[in-house]
Amino acid sequence: MTEELRVAVDRKPNGAVLYTKGYINNVGGEEIANRAYELMDDNVRTLLLNLRDTKIVNSIGISILIEIIEKMIDKGGSIAFCCLTPVIHKTFQIMGLANYARIFDNEETAIKELGL
Amino acid sequence: MSPLVHQFAEFLHDLQQLERAALSAHGTLIVDAFTKHTPYDVSAVYLRDGRGPVLRLVAKSDACIAPDLIESEEIEAFLLDPEPRHLIPIRTIRDHFGIIALNGDAASDEDLQMLHAAGTFAGSVLSNHRMAQEMREGDFQLKYRLWELESLYDIGLSIAGTLNIDALADEILFRMISLINARRAALFLRDGDKFRVYRSFGDTRSDFLDDEITDRVVAAGEALTFEDASECIFPGCIATVAVPIKGNNAVIGVLAAGDRETREGDVGAFEANELRLLSLFANQVAIALENARLHKEALEKQAMQRELDLAATIQRDILPKSIPTVEGIELAALSRPAKQVGGDYHAFFQRDGSLTTIVADVSGKSMPAALLVSAFHAAVQLLFAEGRELGDIATELNRHIHSWSAENKFITMIMVTIDPEAETIQFVNAGHNPCYVLTGDHIEQLRSHGLPIGILGTSKYMTQTRPFPAGSAVVLYSDGINEAENVAGDEWGNEVFEELLALRSTISASALRDSIAEAVDAFVGEAAQKDDQTLVIARTAM
């Protein structure tokens, strides 16, 4: 079972898709944040996080994701998620992430809806 | 608006930005606002760490030499170089947030009032900022508790509905790690006296839970923390927690987790609320694991029953569907398979006015026995079709079964050929019970004269011949008849069997069969039939 989180970035004409693989905890969350902030500094304002290969998120990981969302909102951009496991989807709803970030079932729909 | 008021409004507007800015940007924003809107240079800005007594240096001029931390509001006690002209507190009536050290010319009373008013305003803004931050954290904590409760509820539904133990183990591990912010975890399941790792996440020390830790967790019956490096469950862990998974009668597993994360990026000990949560979680897991175990057992029973049904079908299909009609010989047979399929076999062959009957018993039960019976049946049919004599057939059967079957499989067998015209009986008894020949009131046993079929590949069997006067009967049977047991575990036995045969030696084959069956049933009573029962009786006409 993968312990450390790995992040891959796919730049799109109007934003970027971040693919995560592994555990979104403190270390994993910071890794996502670093990549997201780099993209924000590069004027990317629409980010899609594809969590298809992530099965576990803990509360610290969630708080970091919230910080990323808030930072993007401050910059006038938006963050969305796709391909969540049912457990993570419910977690995001309860923890309020779904109030500030759109959640899509699949990447294709997300890219189309976000205009990436 | 007068220029002074306008300038002061702009000053406050710039300080207002503190409310939305990150904590790390506060020092810079204060320096910028005071530098832009007052005639003074900011030499240093100290802000309080949370609600604690320590003030931390968050911004300073290049020329100023200032300590990073000061322990109280008594900044005058600390030497700033150069010594500041003015110290402006950042505070509200309730809270003190920090202090701004300014350098420059002497200030008028009005200037000082403005500076203090700005400091108070900055304090109010920081107070709002802190309240908003605390509300957000409180909201997060509230949602987090809700998530914990929802998770426990979901776990109950989800893992109780997951009957595949592998999928269940993954679900258990993921949920536990997530709930208590662990970096490492393992699910141990009982394996004899030990607990073996069934699923793990991160680095685990070995395949088994340490014996001493096992004893302590089982004895405690609740979640325990281990904070001594020497007793850590995972290598190099600062702290671990282990909780027993209690089944109906015993501890069936242990959940262990280590390296609890903190928001600061460190790892630390687990807290009391997390131990409570883990104990509740373990209760749910116990139910789920028990369900999965019962489900697995039910599937195994179903599979076993299917195998037994199939074996019974194979055996049923190869036994004679009816008794042949042979001129001058009355035949009667009984075949009662036990509930658990055994390996009794019987067959009839006619050749040139004579009748051959076989009764055999294959070692073992269930599918292996049924398959061996099937192979035996095929070989018997083939060899009789070739017209061989009994000894030759037995020898060939032995060679075939010995090479085909597993090492510990064998078949006891008796074959008899009755020739009514010659009034003889030929037989081969390969390790089977002796059969009885009834002639008038005389009873003779045809005993075994060779090893069971399949024991030794080189065994040879010779045909034995005895007189069989008209009106004689032969009684072949399997050990399910003479070894039938009653509820007390006593066997019916050959002695009683022979007494019955002596009393009924002249009755018809079918009447004798029924008489034996009734006697056996009466003896067995309510006891379950343990073995197949086969009985074949042939009597020649007078």
With beta carbons less than 8 A apart as the criterion, state whether B226 and B254 touch. Answer: no
CB spacing of A56 vs B262 below 8 angstroms: no
| Nearest by CB: A63 against B140, B178, B200 | B140
Report the 10 Å Cβ neighbour count for B349: 18
Chains A–B, number of C-beta pairs less than 8 Å apart: 60
pLDDT for the residue numbered B76: 55
Tell me which of B143, B150, B278 to substitute to probe the interface with A (most A C-beta atoms closer than 10 Å): B143
Contact residues on chain A for B265, CB-CB shorter than 8 A: 26-27, 30
**Cross-chain Cβ contact B140/A25 below 8 Å:** no
The DSSP 8-state label assigned to residue A57 in this structure reads B
Tell if the CB–CB gap between B143 and A95 is shorter than 8 Å: yes
Half-sphere exposure of B354 toward its Cβ, with a 13 Å CA cutoff?
21
Q: What is the DSSP string of B434-480?
A: PEEEEETTEEEEE---BPPBTS-TT-----EEEE--TT-EEEEE-HH
User: What percentage of chain B carries pLDDT values higher than 90?
Assistant: 32
Best B137, B155, B174, B178 member to test A by mutation, with max A CBs in 10 Å, is: B178
Burial of B62 (0-12, 13-18, 19+ CB in 10 A): exposed
With contacts defined as CB-CB under 8 Å, which chain A residues touch B177?
23, 56, 58
Which residue's entry shows tokens 């290049």? Answer: B62
Is A95's CB within 8 Å of B154's CB? no
Burial code (b: 16+ CB inside 10 Å, e: under 16) for B359-390 equals: bbbbbbbbbbbbbbbbbbbebbeebbeeeeeb
Q: Chain A contacts of B143, Cβ < 8 Å?
A: 94-96
Rounded to the nearest angstrom, the gap between the alpha carbon of residue B124 and the centroid of all alpha carbons in its chain is: 60
**With pLDDT > 90 as the criterion, what percentage of chain A qualifies?**
78
Chain segment B157-191, per-residue pLDDT in tens? 766 666 777 878 888 888 889 888 898 899 998 88
Q: What share of chain A is helix, strand, coil (3-state, %, to 5)?
A: 45, 30, 25
User: Which residues in chain A have their CB less than 8 angstroms from residue B150's CB?
Assistant: 90, 94
Strand partners, B345: B360
Q: Which residues of B touch A40 (CB under 8 A)?
A: none
Cα separation of B101 and B86, whole Å? 6
Give tens-digit pLDDT for A47-72. Answer: 999 999 999 999 899 999 999 999 99
User: Between chains, do B201 and A95 touch, taking CB under 8 Å as contact?
Assistant: no
CA B294 to chain centre: 10
Which one is predicted more confidently, A93 or B248?
A: A93
Nearest to B118 by CA among B58, B45, B198, B176: B45
State the Cα–Cα distance between residues B236 and B436, nearest whole angstrom: 78
Work out the number of other CB atoms within 10 angstroms of the CB of residue B489.
7
- What is Dmax (Cα atoms) for chain B? 150
Read off the pTM: 0.57
Q: How far is B315 from chain A (nearest CA, A)?
A: 49
How confident is the model over B88-106, as pLDDT tens digits?
Answer: 888 888 888 888 888 877 7
Which of B154, B178, B262 is the closest to A57 by Cβ? B178
CB contact under 8 A, B144 and A59: yes
| Cβ burial, residue B398 (10 Å; 0-12/13-18/19+) | buried
Interface of B with A (CB under 8 A): 20, 139-140, 143-144, 146-147, 150-151, 154, 170, 174-175, 177-179, 181-183, 200-202, 261-263, 265
- Whole-angstrom distance, CA of residue B130 vs CA of residue B127: 5
- The bridge status of strand B86-91 relative to strand A78-82 is unpaired
Closest Cβ opposite residue B261 in set A25, A56, A57:
A25
pLDDT of residue A1: 46
| The two structure tokens encoding residue A32 | 């996502």
B412 secondary structure, DSSP code? E
Sign of the dihedral defined by the CA atoms of residues B70, B73, B79, B84, in that order: positive
Neighbours of B95 (CB within 10 A): 14
The whole-number average pLDDT for the span A9-13 is 94
- Distance between CA atoms of residues B468 and B418, nearest Å: 8
Report the 10 Å Cβ neighbour count for B352.
7
A74: chain B residues, CB-CB within 8 Å: 20
The percent of residues above 70 in pLDDT, for chain A, comes to: 97
Structure tokens that stand for A61 in this block: 């990981």
pLDDT for B160: 63
Mean pLDDT value of segment B321-333: 92
Q: Which of A26, A27, A94 sits opposite B143 (nearest CB)?
A: A94
Cα distance between residue B152 and residue A90, in whole Å: 13
* B79: CB partners within 8 A, 6+ apart: none
